[in-house]
Amino acid sequence: MKIRVGVFFGGRSVEHEVAIISALQTIHAIDQDKYQVIPVYISKQGIWYTGDLLLDVDNYRDLDGLLAKCKKILVSHNTGEHTVFNYPQGMFRKNILEQIDVAFPVMHGAHGEDGCLQGFFELMGIPYVGPNVLASAVGMDKIMLKAVLRDAGLPVVNDSWFYAKEWLNHREEIIGKLEKELGYPMIVKPADLGSSVGITKAAGREELEDAVELARHFSQRILVEEMIVDLREINCAVLGDHEETEVSVCEEPVSSSDILSYQDKYLSGGSSKGMSGTRRRIPADIPEKMTHTIQEMARKAFVTLNLAGVCRIDFLVDAKNGRVYVNEPNTIPGSLAFYLWEPVGKTFTQLTTDLIDIALKGHREKENLVFSYESNILAVRGSKGIKK
Amino acid sequence: MFRILSLAAFIGFFVYTAWKLKRDLHMMQQNSYRNERYLKWFRGSPGKHVRLRDLVPALALVPAALDYPVIAASLWLFIYVLLFVWREKVREKKKLVMTKRAARLYAVALALALVIAAGAGHVYFNGFGGVYGRFLIMLVLVPLNIFSFVIMLFANRLLAPLEQANNNRYFRDAQRIVRQMPSLTVIGVTGSFGKTSTKHILSRILSEKFNVLMTPGSFNTPMGVTKVIRTMLKPIHEMLVIEMGAKQKGDIAELCRLVSPRYGILTAIGEQHLETFKSLENIKNTKFELIEALPADGLAFFNLDDPNIWDLVPRSPVKSITYGIDHQDADYSAREIKLTPRGTGFILRTCQGEEVPFQTKLLGRHNIYNILAAVAAACELGMDLCDVARAVQDVEPVPHRLALKRTPGNITIIDDAFNANPVGSQMALEALAAIPGGQKIIVTPGMIELGEKQYEINKEFAVNAAKVCDYIILVGRKHTKPLQDGLKSVQMPRERFYVARDLADANRHLQTLVRPGDVVLFENDLPDTYNE
């Protein structure tokens, strides 16, 4: 009997298509001798499907046609059942479609990488790949993230944040505060979006106002950071859990504009290579000492945030003075950052096997904790034990 | 009118009998649906089941004999309605579980009862055989109601071939599932005592490194294990730890045919279930079936401190690993054992001469044996000794097995309610003595199923308890007789023990005398079939 791995992908997120590519890459990397993959596709509307047709990227060109041929499903939320049901159910059809043993989410951004789906897995009581609810949520929220990293003594870029509603009522005060505390140029970011969507730089007041107007469409909270003018971006991936970690080589994405834009990140470099298709330098052309510093900071950030699985931690380097800042973790990185592991001798297949093993280990540890007691206190009325 | 009355009379009989059958079903379930066990248990305490009040409907025989059929039927109906309305409500410790099997059995028994009642009603109304016929019908039905379990036994016999076929099908299915997982390592644990704790400890240790499934609760029969495999075993599992129970010869061999274990742990051999096994030799051979079933590359684990095991070790067809406390030459041994209110500490030594300090929340010397068995198996399965030591620290006591608890009122409770053997009881007493505190109190109904030595063992237990305890509460009047005799023999003052009617009474009494700082041991907890 092979271990049945449910790969969850797609989702109600702006990074929907990228997630599809990452997921299909992952599915093809998973060791077919040990595991049986059950694809669970979540459409942009949030409807869940399964079917073997979901395994071929070419089928996604005609999405409506594809989904018409796939089966709509419900996954049981009952703890321990792990059952995939046909939906809606019928008298004359097979209602129980699949049974899964491990959940493997390959989703980017909202509803998949931010803890929502992880919460569902917790309710199901199923082992799942990647960080838990809290770590996923903190990793996604730039405001909380920076508070936690700063508290752990990790260097982060100076920033300030406010609610979009506040902006509407107190625009002048906020601008004044930002200009005083940070100064131009600044970077404006929606607080809790995974990708680079909605992120713009502001060199002056007018640009700042435009940037906030844009960001406010994506989030209720807005983060503004000092901009590092002479910027290099370096990424490093970490694999493991709170007990054991491995670090990958560092990479430097090469971008055409100042910030790695959505276009650069996902749309350049060919049709369907996902994150691995972005132009990048591997390993990054930085001094050995800096590589080491970044790897250790990546490890520390990983453990501080209680991450698990494979995460890509992004760093900002001020090329003028060589200062390194932690930017953000990607708790489910594009293409699972497999291209950072191949140089250290770990194949994509081995990476997926490791990820599943880490998920099973995390689940075992959780099972050894006490969540509730078997006996029903309401059913025992003074029959056993002493009441005082 | 007479037709309706006759009908009602026999419906009344049927309803009351149906209720009694449900109780019979409950007891049948507790006796594993085995007729011979049911009968044996019944012979053991018939008073539990036969109620004098069920004789009252025989009053209707008088008007029936005097040829007043209407009065007889009315009286008969009246009495059965009253019996039903005033039926006893017993609170059971182990509730009846309406499994499909139980439902099938109940349905057949009810159908039988209905046919009998309807047939009788038919004869009564039509007056076949006249006054004698009516008299005779009632004369037969009254005892049939009193001994309603006869219907249950008959229904069980009728269903036996069907149930057997069903069981065989499930058994083969479970066998197939295990064979489909060649990388699954199966570890069998058997012995007269310690197997449940050993299973728990081993599973907890192995879960540091592997995905482990253990048989839960007391699913230790072929059908229980079959159910666990069919419903709980998943492809993610790498280790399967199985507790193997035996009530008669061949039980363990059958379990081994089901799961094909590669490792076998024999915890200890004692006189548990001596009644069904007849001799100690039979018990030994039955437990040894596990070792005989191991493959050539398997490993057998033996407790060297148990003299009953000595002659088994050389008989082992596979490599043997031994453990012990008194035998420091064992492959895994413990020394410098220290018992405190927080648990136990000791030094463990492996066959390689490695020495590591161990600390555990578990109490008692027997738990050291259980830990040694589990540690030996985990190490032979390739685990690092330091990882093992860390896991042992986190092992929680099995509920009701010498589990140490503290109530908010600062009373220490040693809950050993699931124990039922002399050696375990003695160890519980030692733990009670070792824990510092105010009054030492024991609550116990004594032990059963110990064969001809039952009286002696219970008496001796009471004598030992009297040495340790400041106060003794015996649960039940009749079957604690040997214990009462034991207390008398050591002149335990009457004001220092109490014989309670049942557990509820014992608890009520306990609450009147327990004070903060006291230590209370709940020792053994008999099934409902012995609540006398």
Give per-residue pLDDT as tens, A348-372.
999 999 999 999 999 998 888 765 5
Contacts of A374 in chain B (CB under 8 A): 399
Exposed/middle/buried for residue B18 (C-beta within 10 Å: 0-12, 13-18, 19+): middle
Q: Are A384 and B413 an interchain contact pair (Cβ–Cβ within 8 Å)? A: no
CB contact under 8 A, B407 and A364: no
Judged by CB atoms closer than 8 Å, whether chains meet at A386 and B411 is answered as yes
Min mean pLDDT across A47-56, B252-261, B264-273, B448-457 is at B448-457
In Å, how far are A144, A189, A220, A224 from A178, measured between CA atoms? 19, 14, 18, 8
Whether A54 shows a pLDDT value over 80: the answer reads yes
At residue B244's C-alpha, the angle toward residues B239 and B247, to 5°, is 170
Distance from CA of B11 to the nearest CA of A (A): 34
- What pLDDT is stored for residue A270 in this prediction? 43
Q: Which of B234, B236, B510 sits opposite A386 (nearest CB)?
A: B510
Highest mean pLDDT among A287-296, B426-435, B442-451: A287-296
In contact, B117 and B110? CB cutoff 8 Å: no
Q: Any idea how long chain A is? A: 388
Instruction: Assign B421 a pLDDT band (cuts: 50, 70, 90).
Output: confident
Nearest to A4 by CA among A64, A76, A84, A77: A84
Q: Is the pLDDT of residue B97 over 90?
A: no
Q: Of the candidates B235, B503, B520, which has its C-beta nearest A383's C-beta?
A: B503
CB B421 within 8 A of CB B447: yes
Nearest to B236 among A101, A382, A385 (CB): A101
Answer whether residue B12 shows pLDDT above 80: yes
Least confident of A102-111, B91-100, B278-287: B91-100
Residues B80, B59: contact at Cβ < 8 Å?
Answer: no
**A2: nearest CB among B235, B409, B504:** B235
Could you tell me which of B530, B364, B521, B439 has the C-alpha nearest to residue A386?
Answer: B521
**DSSP line for B62-75:** HHHHTT-HHHHHHH
Q: What is the DSSP string of A194-212?
A: SSSTT-EEESSHHHHHHHH
| Nearest CA among B254, B328, B319 for reference residue B293 | B254
What's the confidence (pLDDT) of residue A62? 92
Residue B400 reports pLDDT greater than 70:
yes
Determine the average pLDDT of the residues in B357-386: 93
Answer yes or no: are the C-beta atoms of A186 and A178 closer than 8 Å.
Answer: yes
Looking at beta carbons, which residues of chain B come within 8 Å of A387?
Answer: 511
pLDDT tier at A385 (50, 70, 90 boundaries)? very low
Give the predicted TM-score (pTM) of the model.
0.76
Question: How high is the pLDDT of residue A290?
Answer: 96
Interface contact B503-A367, CB threshold 8 A: no
Amino acid letter for position B47 = G
Q: How far apart are CA B429 and CA B366, in angstroms?
A: 12
Q: Other C-beta atoms within 10 Å of B137: how many?
A: 20
| Predicted pLDDT of residue A271 | 44
Q: Of how many residues is chain B composed? A: 532
For residues B382-396, average pLDDT: 92
3-state helix, strand, coil in chain B (%, to 5): 55, 15, 30
The rounded distance, in Å, linking the Cα atoms of B166 and A91 is 27
List, as ranges, residues 147-186 from B with C-beta within 8 Å of A: 177, 180-181
Compute the nearest-CA separation of A2 from chain B (Å): 6
Which pLDDT score is estimated for A49?
A: 96
Query: Residue B119 has what pLDDT?
Result: 87
Pairing label, strands A3-10, A35-42: parallel
Predicted complex ipTM:
0.77
- Partner residue facing B207 (CB), from A1, A2, A368: A368
**How many other C-beta atoms can be found within 10 angstroms of the C-beta atom of residue A341?**
21
Contact: B211, A367; criterion CB under 8 Å: no
Which range is least confidently modeled, A228-232, A273-277, B59-63, B113-117?
A273-277
Q: Is the pLDDT of residue B170 over 90?
A: yes
Residue B479 pLDDT exceeds 90:
no
* pLDDT digits 0-9 by tens, B211-222: 999 998 768 888
Q: What is the pLDDT of residue A274?
A: 54
Dihedral sign, Cα of residue B430, residue B435, residue B439, residue B441: negative
The whole-angstrom distance between residue A268's C-alpha and the CA centroid of its chain comes to 21
CA B429/CA B468 separation, integer angstroms:
7
Q: Quick one: pLDDT band at residue A383, thresholds 50, 70, 90?
A: very low
> What is the reported pLDDT for A194?
66
Q: Is any Cβ of chain A less than 8 angstroms from the Cβ of B216?
A: no
- Tell me how far apart the terminal alpha carbons of chain B are, to the nearest angstrom: 45
Beta bridge partners of A162: A222
Residue B461, token pair as written in the block: 């237990």
Tell me the one-letter amino acid at A357: D
Contact B196, B367 (CB under 8 A): no
Which residue, among A307, A2, A362, has the nearest Cα to A137 in the 3D structure?
A: A307
Residues of B in contact with A385 (CB under 8 A): 407, 413
A374–chain B nearest CA distance, Å: 10
Contact status of B503 with chain A (Cβ, < 8 Å) = yes
- Which 401-440 residues of chain B touch chain A by CB within 8 A? 407-409, 411, 413, 417
Mean pLDDT score, B180-200 = 91
Distance between CA atoms of residues B216 and B228, nearest Å: 8
From the CA of A303, how many Å to the nearest CA of chain B? 20
B163 has which bridge partners?
none
Q: Which of B235, B408, B503 sits opposite A1 (nearest CB)?
A: B235
Rounded CA separation B495/B508 (Å)? 16
* pLDDT at res. A388: 34
The whole-angstrom distance between B505's CA and the closest CA on chain A is: 9
Contact criterion met (CB < 8 Å) for B181 and A1? yes
* Interface contact flag, A385 B409, Cβ < 8 Å: no
Average of per-residue pLDDT across A215-230: 93
Amino acid at the residue B23: R
Residue A94: per-residue pLDDT: 82
- Give which of B306, B311, B346 is closest to B330, Cα–Cα: B306
pLDDT of residue A277: 55
| pLDDT reading at A266 higher than 60 | no
Q: Of A55, A92, A91, A81, which is closest to residue A70 (Cα–Cα)?
A: A55
For residue B100, report the phi and psi dihedrals to the nearest 5 degrees: -60, -40
Instruction: Tell me whether the omega of the peptide bond preceding residue A253 falls within 30 degrees of 0, making it cis.
Output: no
The confidence score (pLDDT) of residue A265 equals: 56
The token pair that represents A311 in the structure block: 């995460």
List C-alpha distances in Å: B2 to B59, B61, B68, B125, B302. Answer: 19, 17, 12, 7, 74
Averaged pLDDT score across all residues of chain B = 89
Chain A residues close to B507, C-beta within 8 Å: 382-384, 386
The pLDDT score that the predictor gives to residue B16 is 92
Whether B207 contacts chain A with CB within 8 A: yes
pLDDT in tens, B102-136: 999 999 999 999 999 888 888 888 878 788 888 88
Q: How confident is the model at residue A387 (pLDDT cuts 50, 70, 90)?
A: very low
pLDDT at A167 exceeding the cut of 50:
yes
- B244 pLDDT higher than 90: yes
Q: For residue A386, give the nearest of B91, B394, B511 by CB distance.
A: B511
Sequential DSSP letters for A42-96: E-TTS-EEE-GGGG-GGGGGSHHHHHHHSEEEEE--STTT-EEEESS--TTS--E
Chain B contact set for A383 (CB, 8 A): 91, 503-504, 507
Minimum CA–CA partner of A363 in chain B: B211
Spatial CA neighbour of A26 closest among A60, A54, A46: A54
Mean pLDDT of A266-276: 50
A325-329, B31-35, B310-314, B329-333: least confident range: B31-35
Q: Judge whether residue B388 has pLDDT over 60.
A: yes
**What are the C-alpha distances in Å from B516 to residues A386, A388, B179?**
12, 10, 55
How would residue A386 be classed by pLDDT, with cut points 50, 70 and 90?
Answer: very low
